[in-house]
């Protein structure tokens, strides 16, 4: 396997700062609940929340749908958030939007628990057809349909620690 640099660190930082401003403008000082999707969103979430001026409460949810580099098509919850989302505005922070299955499941999860509104902020959106026509409300990068790693994203739990985002080429 080979790593090919796709997005350098400086570009990630600039984009995350821009998105933080967009989120601040959108919520206009109103408190929101931020839910990070473990483990992939950790780096992105920490960098983003550092820049936000919007008052927040944050928690995490952990789900599993991938085995190695393939979606299994089924979502399993590994960790549930403790925060009460009823009648609150929720912002989900996810690393990557691929088939859209995970996010579609998560949006329903928080709506069923009484969230007033559920928004989605993702680091990377893959250009492809998604289930339930799911779209990100805030996104940093749109990429071709390749498997990527780094900045929190993994291949079988490896390579999350890379500061940049790379395409993982099978060769
Ligand atoms: P979805 O449910 O198909 O949208 O997949 C979402 C989840 O699959 C993400 O939260 C990632 O954990 C994982 N995933 C999808 N594509 C990639 C990738 O290119 N690199 C690393 N993880 C990925
Ligand atoms: Mg993930």
Q: Per the structure block, which two tokens stand in for 5?
A: 């640099």
Q: How far, rounded to the nearest angstrom, does the alpha carbon of residue 88 sit from its chain's CA centroid?
A: 19
How confident is the model at residue 82, as a pLDDT?
97
Tell how far the Cα of 29 is from the centroid of ligand 1, in angstroms: 31
How confident is the model at residue 129, as a pLDDT?
79
Does ligand 1 lie within 6 Å of residue 148's CB atom? Answer: yes
Regarding predicted confidence, which is higher, 40 or 73?
40
Does ligand 1 lie within 6 Å of residue 147's CB atom? Answer: yes
Are 78 and 61 in contact by the 8 Å Cβ rule? The answer is no
Element (H, E) at 11: helix 9-27
pLDDT in tens, 98-132: 989 999 999 999 999 999 999 999 999 999 877 77
Question: What pTM was computed for the model?
Answer: 0.95
Tell how far the Cα of 55 is from the centroid of ligand 2, in angstroms: 25
Catalytic residue among 59, 87, 95, 98: 98
Lowest mean pLDDT among 41-45, 72-76, 95-99, 104-108: 72-76
From the DSSP assignment, how many helices (H) and strands (E) are in the chain?
Answer: 3, 9
How confident is the model at residue 69, as a pLDDT?
63
Q: Does residue 52 surpass a pLDDT of 90?
A: yes
Could you give the 3-state DSSP secondary structure of residue 133?
Answer: helix
Percent of the chain with pLDDT over 70: 96
Does ligand 1 lie within 6 Å of residue 151's CB atom? Answer: no
Residue 66 pLDDT class (50, 70, 90 cuts) = low
Active site residue 156: no
Percent of the chain with pLDDT over 90: 86
Does ligand 1 lie within 6 Å of residue 66's CB atom? Answer: yes
Question: Which residue shows structure tokens 């000082």?
Answer: 29
Q: Does residue 28 surpass a pLDDT of 70?
A: yes
pLDDT in tens, 85-103: 999 999 999 999 998 999 9
- Can you tell me the distance from the alpha carbon of 140 to that of 81, in angstroms, rounded to the nearest whole number? 25
Q: Does residue 72 surpass a pLDDT of 90?
A: no
Using CA positions, which residue lies closest to atom 8 of ligand 1?
66
Tell how far the Cα of 67 is from the centroid of ligand 1, in angstroms: 10
């Amino acid at each position: 396997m080979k790593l090919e640099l796709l997005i350098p660190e400086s570009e990630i930082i600039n984009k995350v700062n821009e998105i933080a401003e967009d989120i601040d403008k959108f919520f206009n000082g109103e408190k929101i609940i931020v839910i990070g999707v473990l483990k992939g969103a950790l780096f992105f979430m920490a960098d983003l929340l550092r820049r936000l001026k919007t008052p927040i409460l944050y928690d995490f949810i952990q789900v599993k749908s991938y085995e190695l580099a393939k979606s299994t098509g089924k979502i399993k919850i590994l960790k549930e958030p403790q925060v009460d989302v009823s009648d609150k505005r929720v912002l989900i922070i996810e690393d990557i939007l691929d088939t859209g299955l995970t996010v579609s499941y998560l949006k329903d999860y928080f709506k069923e628990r009484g969230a007033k509104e559920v928004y989605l902020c993702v680091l990377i959106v893959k250009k492809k057809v998604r289930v339930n026509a799911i779209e990100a409300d805030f996104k940093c990068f749109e990429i071709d349909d390749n498997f990527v790693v780094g900045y929190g994203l993994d291949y079988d739990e490896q390579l999350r620690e890379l500061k940049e985002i790379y395409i993982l080429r099978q060769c």
